[in-house]
Structure 1
Amino acid sequence: MSDQGRVPPIKVALLGCGTVGGEVVRLLTEQADELAARVGAPIELAGIAVRRPDKHPELPQELLTADAAELIDSDIDVVVELIGGIEPVRSWLLSALQKGKSVVTANKALLAEYSGELAEAADASGADLYFEAAVAGAIPLLRPLRESMAGDRITRVMGIVNGTTNYILSAMDSTGAGYAETLDEASRLGYAEADPTADVDGYDAASKAAILASLAFHTRVTAADVYREGIGGVSASDIVAARVLGRTVKLLSICERVIDENGAESVSARVHPVMIPRSHQLAGVNGAFNAVYVEADAAGELMFYGQGAGGAPTASAVLGDLVAVARNRVVGGRGPRESAHAALPVSPMGRTLTRYHVSLDVADRAGVLAQVAQAFAAHDVSIAAVRQRDRHSTASLVIVTHLAPDAALRATVEEIGRLDVVREVVSVMRVEGED
């Protein structure tokens, strides 16, 4: 008899069975023997909690239940959570961890708010908490950050972590269409949810940025700490302006280790549209793909790229976590614990050094540029480039700045908007990826 025949199975409770959950069930069934060989014991799906069991005829009926709490209290070893949201999921997972049952979750919103609380419960009971699928789908990203790079000092994590917004911006760039019509097309093709707010307003990316910053900088960062702007204000003219300057527009999550003039360290975490050079590694990431760019002292520059969402890709990440957790159960080991020892403060957006691309409609007369430049100088913001185009009685003026505190740049734009010679501040966008 093989060793697996003598080792009791690892019993798994699955909470939620939508697109990703269905793929998890399929893979557990089709790859049962291979997964057992990797783990050293069979993985047994002991129950599936769904809101309405009668709506899932495709699943083994004997495994279905509407009572998630009862399933968690039963004789199981691991809870795999794919429901999403905060409550009652938070209470269920805390209960599981407190009972010593390990947890695998893809719940980015929950982790962005309560990862510390969940980690403490896991530490107290000796259970594992794994969440690779919470950020960037199938891309192996979180485990390298918290394990492979545990001996390095990460300085920056910047990337495209929301496929819906990347699809929309990529389509606007390639077709010249406006935001509203491109969003409608994304919804029709299934790239955007019926209610796309979480994606297009940046909430999804902000939750992921909080998780990335927490892991990269050994500091608890919540979604509330992340500065957030969505893509609703990006126009077709912004896309054209970026193209003229050899750039493209992306919604980026940017997490940085910041050192001020006194040598004090802090963390900056933000999500907003940016113009980046078309030569940048992230500029060529199109469609619904994700990519994350990591900079570290010893490792240098690393790039993680792949499918950021979807049933099968996300299920791949879930199964990877499940195999790791199950192995730990078999051999009596434990996975990595939370690392929040640095406890760095989070720097407000106003202190973050950024660059602006400012497009103005101004009166076509002498002295306009001097007045605009004076407003920049008054806030100690240096101008890197100016482009002007005359148009009848008005002129188009585009200004790109050097790095400056974001608060100073905002104040400059507000002052410019009050100048008599400025008819309209057409658009303001941050610029990244340039020296």
Structure 2
Amino acid sequence: MLARRKDEIALRVGRPVEVVAVSARDRTRNRDCDLSGVRWFEDAVELARDPDIDVFVELIGGHDGIARDAVEAAIASGHEVITANKALLAHHGVSLASGAEANGCNIYFEAAVAGGIPVIKALREALLGNEIARVSGILNGTCNYILTRMHEEGLSFDACLEQAQLLGYAEADPTFDVDGFDTAHKLSLLAALAFGVQPDPDAIHVEGIRSITLADLEAADELGYRIKLLGVAARAGAAVELRVHPTMVPKHWPIAQVSGVTNAVAIDGDAVALTLVGPGAGGDATASAVVGDICDIAAGKSGTPFGWKARDLRAAGKAAIQRHEGGYYIRLAAVDRPGTAAAIARHMAEQNISLESIMQHRRGRPHGGERAESAEAPAPVVLVTYATTEDAVRRAIAAIEIDGVIASPPQVIRIEKD
């Protein structure tokens, strides 16, 4: 990209940009570009300390090890740093930002969140006139791909995950993606930019998508929703609520219509509200974001990594999900016997939970030689609540489980409404 746009970039930023040195594990790998005139460093830390470079770009990954060592070495040498490493910044962002400020350099990380979507620049620069109330989004393309395929093709989670792995959208060990940790790392960076809180993945309530079934997707469709894995950072009085979990969003919301590996970020400010949509990963998207950061440095732009001085970033604190308020979808495998419905309703009422709707689907009828189900076989019951608290829902469910009127752990999904 730098070679292809060489003349235009020089014209726009006022100086030429040249790659002068690289470091990687495998020197012989084909990278589809001419590196014959570029100095090769076996040790990335040595490259980071090179006095003849202006900018060090880290695209290694991982929050410790060589990536952290190299970035710290570059900062200590006073070099500007560009990184796509959300894990590194989520775990060590405050100390790295402090080091950069002390050494008169900066850290740029547009590629670390939402790929080619310029959401970092939007929060750090373009929306400074706004008081941000909420930042939320689809921040992991793997999860969005899986949920999209499940919904559109009626495939199981396991089948969609296998396809994602074959296509390179998911790693052999998909835990980081499907259990929500990748989204949490990215959300911690957005929260730092929007609200001035220290990046801290441990302050975020995290749930993944492994428990989502076709029954949940079908019920959501019938109720007028789509299920997405959302990262949400929102003002809650003087605190900031930070959470990652599957969420039902109204079908007509722009974010509900984002499919496949595409990412989307919705920003709600007091002056403007906008939704940014685009490619969340891939070589071109990452290159676009990295080159944008390089051009900012070449043009002489300055600032602080998170838009706030590191010393002014306050602790986020552990997300108090129990105080979260909103609507809830609750799917129960209810035992079909007298008193079950009454017990469920009683425990909901005891927690002052009002029900917006109740859906009960009949069990499938036996066909051919299939054995008929017993009278007490569980039947799926879906409850949709009006606004209530997480704590009230959990207390009601715990009481229902003690009564023994459900046959398996319930499914609970939070609902976002207009």
Same-fold call, TM > 0.5? Answer: yes
2:147 aligned partner = 169
Q: Is the 8 A contact 1:364 1:390 kept in 2?
A: no
CA distance in 2, matches of 1:281, 1:367: 42
After TM superposition, list the pairs within 5 Å mapping 1:374-413 onto structure 2: 374-391=346-363, 393=375, 395-413=379-397
Q: What amino acid is the match of 2:48? A: I
CA distance in 2, matches of 1:36, 1:248: 45
Corresponding position: 1:60 with 2:38: no
1:6 aligned partner = none
Select 1:417's aligned residue among 386, 401, 404.
401
Q: Is the 8 A contact 1:139 1:308 kept in 2?
A: yes
Residue aligned with 1:282, SS: helix
2:14 aligned partner = 40
Residue aligned with 2:274, SS: strand
CA distance in 2, matches of 1:219, 1:429: 27
CA distance in 1, matches of 2:305, 2:413: 39
2:91 aligned partner = 113
Q: Is the 8 A contact 1:128 1:325 kept in 2?
A: no
Q: CA-atom RMSD, angstroms?
A: 2.0
Select 1:335's aligned residue among 287, 299, 303.
303
Shift of 1:196: 1.9
Shift of 1:334: 2.0
Select 1:73's aligned residue among 49, 53, 71.
49
| Aligned residue pair count | 398
Q: Is the 8 A contact 1:147 1:336 kept in 2?
A: no
Aligned residues with identical type, % of pairs: 40
Shift of 1:306: 0.8
Select 1:206's aligned residue among 184, 202, 206.
184
Q: What amino acid is the match of 1:76? A: I
Instruction: Give ranges in structure 2 of 5+ residues lacking alignment.
Output: 364-372
**TM-score for both structures, normalised by structure 1:** 0.86
CA distance in 2, matches of 1:425, 1:54: 52
Q: What amino acid is the match of 2:53? A: I
Return structure 1 stretches of 4+ with deviation > 6 angstroms: none
2:25 aligned partner = 51
CA distance in 2, matches of 1:198, 1:411: 30
CA distance in 1, matches of 2:15, 2:294: 12
Q: Is the 8 A contact 1:248 1:283 kept in 2?
A: yes
Which moves more between the two structures, 79-88 or 182-191?
182-191
Corresponding position: 1:350 with 2:328: no
2:247 aligned partner = 274
CA distance in 2, matches of 1:49, 1:114: 23
Select 1:89's aligned residue among 63, 67, 71.
67
CA distance in 2, matches of 1:208, 1:345: 15
1:136 aligned partner = 114
Shift of 1:342: 6.4
1:147-204 CA-to-partner distances (Å, cap 9, x unmatched) read 1111211011111011111011000000011000111112222222232221111111
Q: Which has the larger strand fraction? A: 1
CA gap of 1:337–1:50, structure 2 versus 1, over 3 A, is closer
Q: Is the 8 A contact 1:52 1:66 kept in 2?
A: no
Q: Is the 8 A contact 2:203 2:316 kept in 1?
A: no
Shift of 1:389: 3.9
Shift of 1:353: 2.1
Select 2:344's aligned residue among 345, 348, 372.
372
Corresponding position: 1:296 with 2:269: yes
Residue aligned with 1:137, SS: coil
1:78-110 CA-to-partner distances (Å, cap 9, x unmatched) read 001111112222222122112211001110111
2:370 aligned partner = none
After TM superposition, list the pairs within 5 Å mapping 1:139-154 onto structure 2: 139-154=117-132
Residue aligned with 2:160, SS: helix
Select 1:160's aligned residue among 138, 149, 160.
138
CA distance in 1, matches of 2:287, 2:75: 22
